[in-house]
Amino acid sequence: MKISARNQIRGRVTAITQGEAAANVEIDANGLRLVASITTEAVRELGLADGAEVTAIVKASDVIVAVD
């Protein structure tokens, strides 16, 4: 599959916390911890589980960082 998004980060699923409708998928990307919030349906359809090799694709218009 070809995709236009350039921010593609390979990693391994380290944890999945599922709620009723949404799930948080934690990914270890060479020591960088990423968390993606996706639907529980997507978790099932993708067959995600701990240890799965995945690609996180980031497509956002803004990233805002603040400190106190």
pLDDT in tens, 1-58: 888 888 899 999 999 999 999 999 999 999 999 999 999 999 999 999 999 999 999 8
- pLDDT confidence of residue 54: 97
Taken in order of first residue, the domains within the chain and their CATH numbers are 7-58 (2.40.50.100)
Give me the phi and psi of 13, to 5 degrees please.
-65, 130
Confidence at 59, pLDDT banded by 50, 70, 90? confident
Greater pLDDT, 51 or 63: 51
Looking only at the bridges linking them, the beta strands covering 22-29 and 53-58 are unpaired
DSSP 3-state of 40: helix
pLDDT at residue 61 greater than cutoff 80: no
